[in-house]
Structure 1
């Protein structure tokens, strides 16, 4: 794990949400496409150490680039292995695998 658990302090800044755009394929029954974009009601202050922009592969060149074998940081507050929701941001470094390997793992 890169940084393990991170508590949201002391640089907390509450910002209202303007719009939530859920993935059109999201299904709460099986959590397929469990991702969304959140548009804030005001600009984010990226001068804070606790808030940094995220790079998404949106250009066609980046979408064609294979990330398989590289490491990625996965973070979230979801349900943990004990079945409880975490109130602490959790993160883990994971290797990127191919779509076919991912689909095979979920079939098992």
Structure 2
């Protein structure tokens, strides 16, 4: 977790299903689509570990709130905040993510980390993984090569690399 101390695992009944980013001692930022049809009673967050299933700290969730403009069909405003039931203590393995103050330039380097599958429908690795990507403009990401077309809305960001991507289970994690 050393390179990504802000990465957390969202877990439902003991299984990883989405990522998130540690913002402060009681707040996690994730994707709103990760929290659809999920009750706080079965939701926990693991922080401070490279393994989603062991180590670090496992904390219950007190509440979560999706962006009021979230649209599940178009994925616009696909962001949510989670309030933890007890605060996490910052350490060498648990640190706040630095938030961007400006939009990244097209072609800028970016990294996605997570415990997502390495192929569609595959199994999730126990160990945290990452992939280096580049920020793309809407035209690039809507091209036939990347096939996202009109799904990329003006409020969204796109990152790409030939033959590399995030996958199921990486949703909600840091870029």
TM range (shorter): 0.5 to 0.7
Question: Which structure has the highest helix share of the two?
Answer: 1
Q: How does 1:18-97 map to 2 (within 5 A)?
A: 18-23=62-67, 24-27=69-72, 32=75, 35-47=79-91, 49-57=92-100, 62-63=101-102, 65-88=103-126, 89-97=128-136
Structure 2: 5+ residue stretches without partners: 4-49, 150-175
Distance 1:21 1:78 in 2: 23
Shift of 1:77: 3.0
Give TM-score scaled by structure 1 length: 0.61
Q: How many residues in Structure 1 have an aligned counterpart in Structure 2? A: 96
Scaled by the length of structure 2, what TM-score is found? 0.42
How many angstroms apart in 2 are the aligned matches of 1:9 and 1:97? Answer: 33
Provide the rounded CA distance (Å) in 1 between the counterparts of 2:70 and 2:123: 23
- Structure with the larger RCO, 1 or 2 (CA within 8 Å, 6+ apart): 1
C-alpha RMSD over aligned residues? 3.1
Unaligned runs of at least 5 residues, structure 1: none
